[in-house]
Amino acid sequence: MCFSRTASRSVTMQGPQPATAPGMPYGSPQSVPGTYQGAGNYGFQPQPMGFPGGFVAPPVQNQPTMNGTIWMPIPPSVPNCPPGLEYLTQIDQILIHQQLEVLEIVTGFEENNKYELKNVLGQRVYFAAEDTDCLTRNCCGPSRPFTIKITDNLGREVITLHRPLCCGSCCCPCCLQELEVQAPPGTTVGYVVQNWHVCLPKFTIQDEKRRDILKITGPCVLCRCCEDIHFEVKSLDETCPVGKISKQWTGLAREWFTDSDNFGISFPMDLDVKMKAVMIGACFLIDFMFFEHSK
């Protein structure tokens, strides 16, 4: 058996769950038998995961708003949890919507990317904004180094993503990509490291001490068109499913004329919040590497 039972804390999200409907992302959940035993304190109990359809969440009524935006309620503090990551203890799925930049569409000049991170109820959990200078964005394109700052509903920067400059093709073993995840800023909690493969996207999730924790494997992106693209998150031996990062097909017009993308991430409820943050970082790296090309 590739799973063993571990004792871990699980926090259950309160409130009604959205009904399954066409276009919803995570209906018809599928249970994963057993429990994955990760390195260190990264064990978790299996949670339902499913990814049919798009990533459209239903509206939420009677929730607190800020500047017209529905935010996820501020969770109570959690012992030994990096500040701002308490939200991640209450969710096992997160939706990432990249905002359309009108100036970029009209002029063709690359703007700083901005993203909304929401739970399945449509409540905003975080807001992410790229912080890269104009020259770097427009000269290096999707291969550019970047810093992405992720803030919570109080405006605190809770996660910082750093991608260093790495010139060359991703098909070259000496030009593999890497992303550092800090939570809070200045404190490294993990890395996303690309593994060389002749045609498939492969990555390793590492902890702050660069110990391998999980693997990510995706399909040949060039061979996929007009459909969702799924990147499987698995145990180190790649035999036990852990989660999934999915890029949603947003329609021919949007895919052709913009580089604005939607993603969905699923992970176990009681996975260590640091590893959840690193999986979010992996999603942004995948976006830049395979889906950020100018149209």
- pLDDT tens profile 142-157: 888 999 999 998 899 9
The reply to whether CATH 2.40.160.200 applies to domain 90-290 is yes
Q: Which residues contact 214 (CB under 8 A, 6 or more apart)?
A: 38, 204, 205, 233, 234, 235, 236, 242, 275
Q: Summarize pLDDT for 248-295 with one digit per residue, the tens.
A: 876 555 555 555 678 999 999 999 999 999 999 999 999 999 887 654
Q: pTM value?
A: 0.74
Three-state SS at 181: strand
Q: How far apart are CA 29 and CA 179, in angstroms?
A: 30
Q: Summarize pLDDT for 201-220 with one digit per residue, the tens.
A: 999 999 999 999 999 999 98
Q: How far apart are CA 32 and CA 211, in angstroms?
A: 25
For residue 42, is pLDDT > 70? no
